């Protein structure tokens, strides 16, 4: 385009300069000796011509620059955005966290990049519900490299159950920053007593009367989803500190057994941990490392390649007098090229069917990431 514009621009400048020069230098024409005729006027060589040409050239160059800038902006808005066109600045690579300093996210990229992916995911989820495998499925996906996300029924409410052990864990490590001795504090292990809720995925029994450090209880709470360990830690940090964690993150704290949460809202805990934007880098890394040791491997981890780390937490809820059951699994899949956050919440009447749903959605997502960005 520039090669077409420049010759035409040069001709325009020459014509305009010559026309202006004739007017400017007419008074300077010199007569012949006889005084009857004027000397021939060479406009191209006159000083005023050069001055006029220089000024007009500057004006047209400025005009050309403005025009090219506007055209470039228009063309860039029409061109497809790529992952590299999203500007993101991070502090540096750690094992499980990637501290975020700045992110500039393009909304156009979200539609172009994720629309086909989401469309296929909707078909998969709808088929699962239509086949009777679940009565409700919620999915939240987020690309942790650049931040684009999509959801399917991501605003539907579910009972979080053991998912709430993650904010308890975050509260423990937040307090340990100012009180490093907290993690080494010893607490006697006590049975919390019978529960009105059934537990399909059982945690190993601990010896009553034994004592554990807060750090050991944190491991038991996450790895085995030990409800007794969670109760002991919750009592150790106090309700006010746990509520503060929710308030600091702009979330409503649990107020009773009827507490509900959405997949999109709950996923924010993992995003905050990955970005190390609430806890310190070391504390975020420690929390995520514990979450990679979760004993439940039949959900999100079952859908990814062996050796790929998954920092996640599952939650289940079933009542003895009701066929309605809920099973959720949310976390970070550390794909070697494209780490992502996936939160799946389900409701149905068969725990085993819900487990397979989470596994299948996880596998579908991982394959899609592999196809789009390649393997390690």
Contact 152, 139 (CB under 8 A): yes
pTM above 0.75, yes or no: no
- pLDDT tens by residue, 195-253: 545 566 666 777 777 999 999 999 999 999 999 999 999 999 999 999 999 999 999 99
The pLDDT of residue 230 is 95
- pLDDT tens by residue, 171-191: 999 999 999 999 999 999 987
The whole-angstrom separation of Cα 328 and Cα 125 is 15
Query: What is the number of helices (H) and of strands (E) in the chain?
Result: 10, 10
The whole-angstrom separation of Cα 276 and Cα 117 is 28
Band of pLDDT at residue 321, cut at 50, 70 and 90: confident
How is the chain split into domains, by residue range?
2-79, 100-373
The pLDDT of residue 91 is 53
- pLDDT tens by residue, 353-369: 999 999 999 999 999 99
- The C-alpha torsion from 141 through 131 and 323 to 328, rounded to 10°, is -10
- Environment class of residue 183 by beta-carbon count within 10 Å: exposed (0-12), middle (13-18) or buried (19+)? middle
Name which of 167, 122, 112, 168 is nearest 143 in CA terms: 112
Residue 117's CB is within 10 A of a number of other CB atoms, namely: 19
Superfamily name with CATH number, domain 100-373: DD-peptidase/beta-lactamase superfamily (3.40.710.10)
**Residue 128: C-alpha distances to residues 319, 353, 364 (Å):** 23, 10, 13
Band of pLDDT at residue 9, cut at 50, 70 and 90: very low
Band of pLDDT at residue 114, cut at 50, 70 and 90: confident
Band of pLDDT at residue 64, cut at 50, 70 and 90: low
Band of pLDDT at residue 38, cut at 50, 70 and 90: very low
């Amino acid at each position: 385009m520039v090669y077409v514009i420049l010759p035409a621009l040069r001709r325009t400048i020459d014509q305009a300069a010559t026309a202006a020069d004739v007017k400017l230098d007419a008074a300077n024409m010199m007569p012949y000796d006889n005084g009857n005729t004027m000397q021939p006027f060479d406009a191209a060589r006159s000083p005023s011509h050069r001055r006029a040409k220089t000024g007009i050239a500057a004006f047209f160059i400025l005009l050309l620059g403005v025009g090219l800038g506007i055209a470039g902006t228009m063309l860039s808005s029409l061109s497809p955005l790529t992952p590299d066109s999203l500007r993101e600045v991070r502090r540096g690579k750690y094992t499980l966290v990637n501290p975020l300093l700045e992110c500039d996210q393009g909304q156009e990229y979200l539609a172009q990049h994720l629309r086909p992916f989401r469309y296929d995911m909707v078909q998969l989820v709808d088929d699962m519900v239509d086949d009777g495998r679940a009565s409700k499925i919620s999915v939240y996906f987020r690309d942790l490299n650049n931040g684009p996300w999509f959801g399917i029924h991501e605003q539907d409410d579910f009972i979080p159950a053991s998912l709430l052990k993650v904010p308890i864990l975050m509260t423990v490590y937040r307090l340990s920053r100012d009180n490093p001795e907290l993690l080494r504090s010893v607490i006697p292990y006590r049975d919390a007593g019978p529960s009105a809720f059934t537990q399909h995925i059982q945690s190993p029994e601990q010896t009553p009367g034994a004592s554990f450090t807060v750090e050991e209880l944190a491991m038991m709470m996450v790895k085995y989803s030990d409800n007794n360990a969670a109760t002991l830690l919750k009592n150790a940090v106090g309700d006010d500190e746990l509520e503060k964690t929710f308030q600091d993150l702009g979330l409503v704290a649990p107020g009773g057994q009827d507490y509900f949460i959405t997949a999109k809202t709950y996923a924010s805990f993992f995003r905050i941990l990955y970005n190390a934007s609430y806890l310190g880098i070391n504390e975020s890394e420690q929390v995520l490392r514990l979450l990679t040791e979760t004993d439940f491997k039949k959900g999100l981890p079952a859908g990814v390649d062996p050796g790929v780390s998954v920092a996640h937490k599952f939650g289940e809820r079933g009542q003895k007098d009701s066929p309605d059951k809920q099973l959720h699994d949310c976390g970070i899949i550390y794909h070697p090229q494209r780490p992502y956050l996936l939160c799946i919440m389900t409701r149905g009447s068969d725990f085993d069917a819900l487990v397979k749903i989470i596994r299948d959605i996880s596998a579908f997502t991982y394959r899609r990431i592999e196809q789009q960005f390649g393997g390690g």
